[in-house]
Amino acid sequence: MELTEISCKTILNPTGGFLGQGFTHTINLYRGCALGNTLCGLYCYAQWNPYHVRGRMWGRFLDVKAGAVEAYCTQYDRLKNAGEPKPIRIFMSSVTEPYPPQERTLRRTRELLEAMVGRPPDLLAIQSHTPLVVDDLSLLRQLQRRCDVSVHITVETDKPRLPASFPQQAYSPNVRIQALHALRAAGLDAVATVSPLLPLDDPERFADELEQACTRVILDHYLLGDGSKDGQRTKQTAFPRLLREAGYEEWTTLEKFHEIVDVFRSVFGGPERVGVSREGFNASRNKVYDGPQCVSAGSGT
């Protein structure tokens, strides 16, 4: 893994497109991803971003941004303290992992969270593939007293292992579900992102496990949510072919996806805590969007 420190002058990046309904900014404290050689790296859409990759092999490099806290404070003060305060609704991260294993020593995400306690955004949604976000539980609880906080952990499958033709998962589904339990028990909005949906061993049991572990769930399929028309980005990868070769053809279809959404809605007692694709990602704790509709999720979840 090639680790490089790079300087950054801005860290709050205005967002639109897929995240534009619910968020004003994204934050990516790293460039590249240390999990790029694991299962999620296979279909990760960030690998197609030439600005981030710069001709390098996905999964072989991690650029670490220096000066992010200073950049955040400067941008925050401009947005909140100069004239009419502007909304700051942050999705962290959109093209990297905010809790790679290196975060345990580098603590760039933790430093930024500490700064956010003093300069709280209106909303912070953390999106991670790892259980390491639990390291910052007490800090997240502090931050939650100042602003809305959601923590999304991706759990795409209940299978501990896919066939050998697929790369291994960096963290088992079980440890990620345990992290969701810890977040929810701490009173945080703990969101399981089943995205992209992978083949499941037992959809009902998986939905039931997630129902107990999280406040809400977001389901997505690469045909809907990889940021390109009809999943063209993902179709450039080996992922759909590997699914077909392993006998999982039906999981490459939206028919199967909608069948699984129905299973989740049945187990979760309705659509309120089950978001789908773009609308699900853009919803906040009290609202889950489902296509053109929007319903209140209520409290106590």
Quick check: 279 and 21 in contact, CB under 8 A?
yes
215 near ligand SF4, judged by CB under 6 A: no
Which residues, including other chains, have CB under 8 Å from residue 19's CB and lie 6 or more apart? 26, 91, 94, 281, 282
Report the phi/psi class of residue 247: left, alpha or beta, with left for phi > 0 and alpha for psi in -120 to 50: left
Using CB under 6 A as the binding rule, the residues of this chain from 109 to 148 that contact ligand SF4 are 129
Strand residues in the chain grouped as ranges (E): 2-7, 13-14, 25-26, 30-32, 61-66, 89-92, 123-128, 148-154, 189-194, 216-219, 274-276, 287-290, 293-296
Strands 189-194 and 148-154: what pairing?
A: parallel
Candidates 12-20, 30-38, 108-116, 190-198; binding stretch for ligand SF4 (CB under 6 A) = 30-38
Is the Cβ of residue 63 or residue 211 nearer to ligand SF4 in the bound state? 63
36 near ligand SF4, judged by CB under 6 A: yes
Quick check: 180 and 153 in contact, CB under 8 A?
yes
Candidates 20-28, 39-47, 188-196, 252-260; binding stretch for ligand SF4 (CB under 6 A) = 39-47
- Candidates 63, 97, 189, 211; binder of ligand SF4 (CB under 6 A) is 97
243 near ligand SF4, judged by CB under 6 A: no
153 near ligand SF4, judged by CB under 6 A: no
Quick check: 40 and 170 in contact, CB under 8 A?
yes
276 near ligand SF4, judged by CB under 6 A: no
Is the Cβ of residue 96 or residue 282 nearer to ligand SF4 in the bound state? 96
Number of residues that bind ligand SF4 (CB under 6 A): 10
Contact positions vs ligand SF4 (CB under 6 A): 33, 35-36, 40-41, 44, 46, 96-97, 129
